[in-house]
């Protein structure tokens, strides 16, 4: 079979800046060949069984030469593999993608170019510096500060680059910064021209150094500013104070431990990236089938016998519809049975399957679910509570005490994840988040002395039930969300962390 190579620009670091086309290519690849600048969140978009080959190159260190990388992707394509060659930034902006494309064409291997967002534009934007701004410039240039050493001498036209009416951007320039500054000054660029260097642009580790052409080299030496960085020279740098946004948030630069199951962490981790925080994926639990699957199958088979079906999580919704699908049935199985959902995420999971919720409490806890159901049911009514095997007894106890029949059926079970690196991840984090009592127990299973391990860290819980589980274990809880959802947890963190 003929193989194909996608040359994909990964963007500058924030995984949210990857293009949809790039994400689609990653999802379908057999082999991923990726650079140092490609973020882990983007690398993780490749299928779990895809072969992943790191070919990162940094100043002073590289795994493979460019010639070896090019030969590798050509050979993989000849073997019939679907290959993604993932490059930081854009494929063709000082990334040697042109050489790779030509080699693939010469070898008869099909390829496709998927452009990426270059750090030359993205890094300044994340620092609050517009690449163009009316009144400051009518053009901009992007140059490399690390030219091909085989040329012998620079071919950069510093006379044109020194034009004070344009914005000048240099990539890979930290090693030659002093020489670049000298050349610009020799060719007439004013010494008071503003300069900004944006390090690790678009990432939670982003730093911005602002100086002038006369002072920037000394400031770099004083602060030990290092690559990877983008150098921006021009009056547009003056706008940073009025447009600065990414590095101003309360969570910027914070490392946030995400303990919820990996399959459910996507929205939360995306929000962390948007707010400038670094999410540390550390699932404390996994979602598995319940100990007794027959009870769930039987309940789904006789769903029309119930007056109400209650779902307490999106996991329960998925489990229910998996059982329906196994039996060759669909949403029509519910008939006129009424549906309750504990919160908006559960309600959304039902809505995507064509079900409108009849009841959702204002407060997303079992007590509120029980009170609402008692108002809406009569003595003798049958209620199916389809939920986690480890759920609390608040709802079934309240219903049974009031003369309702409640079948409390385990839809799934939560099991602690055994992760030998868990303690290291906890140690790296500034903030630890818990989204259920199960995530608390899962962390304790991996870090028995969590009380000590979490000391000095900000601990945030999605609601009072989760907070109670943490406190029962001796963990100090600093933040409890008022709205018991992932979005509520994000808002609570923003409010709690001083800017």
Structure tokens at 154: 């620079």
CA distances from 421 to 203, 241, 282, 443 (A): 23, 40, 9, 12
Please tell me the distance from the alpha carbon of residue 45 to that of residue 11, in angstroms, as a whole number: 14
The residue assigned the tokens 């799934």 is 412
CA distances from 236 to 134, 202, 216, 328 (A): 9, 18, 16, 62
The residue assigned the tokens 């303690």 is 423
Please tell me the distance from the alpha carbon of residue 151 to that of residue 300, in angstroms, as a whole number: 73
Structure tokens at 235: 């009056």
> Measured in whole angstroms, how far is the alpha carbon of residue 481 from the centre of its chain?
21
Within 10 A of 424 (CB to CB), how many other CB atoms are there? 12
Question: What does the DSSP 8-state code read for residue 312?
Answer: -
Total H helices, total E strands in the chain:
20, 22
Please tell me the distance from the alpha carbon of residue 208 to that of residue 149, in angstroms, as a whole number: 29
Structure tokens at 480: 């409890």
Residue 86's Cβ-side half-sphere holds a number of Cα atoms within 13 Å equal to 38
Please tell me the distance from the alpha carbon of residue 121 to that of residue 132, in angstroms, as a whole number: 10
Which positions are annotated as active-site residues? 35, 57, 172
CA distances from 394 to 233, 391, 399, 431 (A): 63, 9, 9, 30
Q: Is residue 409 a contact partner of residue 300, using CB atoms and an 8 Å limit?
A: no
Please tell me the distance from the alpha carbon of residue 300 to that of residue 326, in angstroms, as a whole number: 11
φ/ψ (deg, to 5) at 308:
-140, 145
């Amino acid at each position: 079979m003929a193989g194909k190579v996608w040359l994909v620009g990964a963007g500058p670091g924030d995984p949210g800046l990857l293009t949809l086309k790039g994400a689609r290519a990653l999802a379908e690849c057999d082999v991923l060949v990726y650079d140092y600048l490609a973020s882990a969140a983007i690398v993780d978009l490749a299928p779990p069984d895809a072969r992943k080959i790191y070919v990162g190159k940094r100043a002073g260190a590289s795994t493979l030469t460019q010639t070896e990388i090019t030969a590798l992707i050509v050979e993989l394509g000849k073997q019939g593999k679907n290959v993604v060659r993932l490059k930081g930034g854009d494929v063709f902006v000082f990334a040697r993608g042109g050489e790779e494309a030509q080699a693939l064409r010469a070898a008869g291997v099909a390829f496709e170019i998927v452009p990426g967002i270059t750090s030359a534009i993205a890094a300044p934007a994340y620092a609050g510096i517009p690449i163009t701004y009316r009144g400051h410039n009518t053009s901009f240039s992007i140059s490399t500060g690390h030219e091909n050493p085989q040329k012998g001498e620079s071919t950069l036209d510093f006379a044109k680059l020194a034009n004070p009416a344009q914005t000048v951007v240099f990539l890979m320039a930290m090693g030659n910064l002093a020489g670049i500054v000298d050349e610009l000054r020799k060719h007439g660029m004013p010494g008071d021209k503003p300069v900004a260097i944006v390090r690790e642009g678009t990432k939670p580790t982003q730093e911005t150094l602002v100086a002038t052409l006369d002072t920037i080299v000394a400031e770099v030496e004083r602060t030990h500013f290092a690559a990877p960085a983008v150098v921006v020279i021009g009056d547009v740098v003056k706008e940073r104070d009025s447009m600065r946004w990414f590095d101003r948030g309360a969570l910027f630069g914070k490392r946030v431990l995400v303990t919820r199951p990996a399959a459910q962490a996507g929205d939360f981790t995306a929000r962390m990236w948007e707010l400038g925080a670094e999410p540390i994926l550390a699932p404390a639990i996994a979602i598995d089938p319940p100990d007794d699957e027959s009870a769930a199958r039987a309940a789904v088979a006789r769903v029309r016998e119930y007056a109400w079906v209650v779902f307490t999580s999106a996991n329960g919704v998925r489990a229910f519809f998996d059982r329906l699908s196994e039996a060759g049935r669909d949403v029509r199985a519910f008939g006129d049975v009424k549906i309750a959902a504990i919160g908006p995420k559960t309600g959304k999971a039902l809505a995507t399957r064509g079900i409108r919720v009849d009841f959702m409490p204002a407060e997303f806890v079992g007590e509120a679910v029980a009170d609402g159901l008692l108002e809406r049911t009569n003595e003798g009514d049958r209620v199916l509570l389809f939920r986690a095997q480890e759920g609390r007894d608040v709802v079934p106890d309240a219903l049974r005490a009031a003369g309702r029949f409640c079948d409390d059926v385990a839809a799934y079970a939560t099991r602690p994840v055994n992760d030998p690196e868990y303690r290291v991840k906890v140690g790296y984090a500034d903030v630890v988040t818990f989204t259920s009592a199960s995530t608390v127990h899962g962390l304790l299973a991996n870090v028995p002395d969590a009380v000590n391990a979490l000391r000095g860290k900000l601990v945030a819980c999605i609601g009072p039930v989760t907070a109670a589980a943490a406190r029962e274990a001796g963990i100090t809880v600093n933040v409890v969300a008022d709205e018991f959802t992932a979005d509520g947890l994000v808002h609570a963190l923003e409010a709690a962390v001083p800017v």
